[in-house]
Chain A
Amino acid sequence: MEIETIDRIIDKHHCEASNLLQIMLEIQSSNNWLPKEALKRVSERLKVPMTRIQHIATFYKAFSLVPKGRHKVHICVGTACHVRGATRILDTVEEATGIKPGETDLDMKFSLETVNCLGCCALGPVMEVDGKVHGKMSPVKTAEALKTYE
């Protein structure tokens, strides 16, 4: 991530320490993860100690300190999805992508996470890819859906 981009994000938030979380969220969403250099720049310019940034970055699940893939796959393993066969959906995704929850594949195509409820239990089992919800999934439908992503 370029230093100009980071500076632009910081300036947009008036270079204020109270906007730290917003700045971090914006870096996360534009870059998909928080590189150490970016956080160092934020720390220097906002005069916020690195320890606090590190605490925040590890506290919220929205942040990632390792590179993430282009597509974020969330498999719901909440109670409703679980009884409707979420494990089989998860197995299918693991098989198709070759990664386990929390991991990213080598060509940075997919990042896989499990979530505990997406709030649409009637559609279970649910898979979410880049915010788009795929409901009432079967292993076959899951494999088909994953093929549409580049």
Chain B
Amino acid sequence: MIEFEIDGKKVSASKDMTVLEVAQKEGIHIPTLCHHEKLEPFGGCRICIVEVESRGWTKLVVSCVYPAEKNIIVRTRSPKVDRIRKTIIELLMAHAPDSPQLLDLAAVYGAVPNRYEKDPSFCIHCGLCVRYCAEVAQKNALGFVDRGVHKEISFIPEIAAKECHACKECFPLCPTSYLQAVFVLTEALAFPDPAVKH
């Protein structure tokens, strides 16, 4: 049993829990975008960043991939944490300006939606769809392609044609609805529905 402190509250955790899991168990809210309880931690969106003080030193860590540690002091809100989250939200909003989840977060952290030049790629690379398909649905119908600023999600048409119509469990996970758009596009290009008249 590991004992430490989150926002002044004494909490206890078992060995392989992350800081985020402990906070959620204790009812302490940490915002997340790429976290899903059924999936392995990913650490993609960095919005769950928190301040950790251990042995007098303060550092910034991503709580969804940071393991619970004895005697640390976690602060989920501090001026520095809030400032970083605000910038992350602003950067993501350059890609997906109308995402409901981002709009909610922007209101909380006072993010300016137009701070950065718009680059509407709509995907924020949270990986929820890709990881859900691989880990839970186990169909591997879509994955990431390319890297860096060119990284995008892409369906394997042969698998998508067979599996996706009956599943579509990843659809509600997408914070921006970009996934649905990619699916419709893949469908139209690779396996059009014969019932739909054009």
Contact = CB atoms under 8 A, between A and B. Distances in A.
Partners in one complex: yes
Contacts of B144: 51, 55
B140 A58 contact: no
B146 A58 contact: yes
B134 interface: yes
Contacts of B145: 54-55, 58
B156 A58 contact: no
B130 A59 contact: no
Contact of A59 (B133, B142, B146, B159): B146
Contact of A51 (B142, B146, B147): B142
A52 B141 CA distance: 10
B30 to A, nearest CB: 29
A58 B143 CA distance: 11
A58 B147 contact: yes
Nearest to B138: A49
A124 to B, nearest CB: 27
Interface in B111-168: 130, 133-134, 140-147, 154, 156, 159
Nearest to A65: B145
Give chain A's interface residue range (CB within 8 Å of chain B).
under 10
- Secondary structure dominating the interface of B: mixed
A120 interface: no
Q: Which of A51, A58, A59 has the most CB of B within 10 A?
A: A51
- Secondary structure dominating the interface of A: helix
Nearest to A57: B145
A50 interface: yes
A50 B146 contact: no
Give chain B's interface residue range (CB within 8 Å of chain A).
10 to 19
Interface string A50-94: 111011001100000000000000000000000000000000000
A44 to B, nearest CB: 12
A51 B130 CA distance: 9
B147 A54 contact: no
Contacts, number: 30
A87 B134 CA distance: 45
A54 B147 CA distance: 12
Interface string B155-187: 010010000000000000000000000000000
Interface string A127-142: 0000000000000000
B74 to A, nearest CB: 34
B147 A50 contact: no
Contacts of A50: 140, 143, 156, 159
Contacts of B141: 51
Nearest to A60: B147
A45 B81 CA distance: 47
A66 to B, nearest CB: 14
Contact of B154 (A49, A52, A54, A59): A54
Interface of B: 130, 133-134, 140-147, 154, 156, 159
19 contacts: A49-B134, A49-B140, A49-B143, A51-B130, A51-B133, A51-B134, A51-B141, A51-B142, A51-B143, A51-B156, A52-B140, A54-B145, A54-B154, A54-B156, A55-B143, A55-B144, A55-B145, A58-B146, A58-B147
Interface of A: 49-52, 54-55, 58-59
Which 3 A-B pairs give the minimum distances between C-beta atoms?
A51-B143, A49-B140, A58-B145
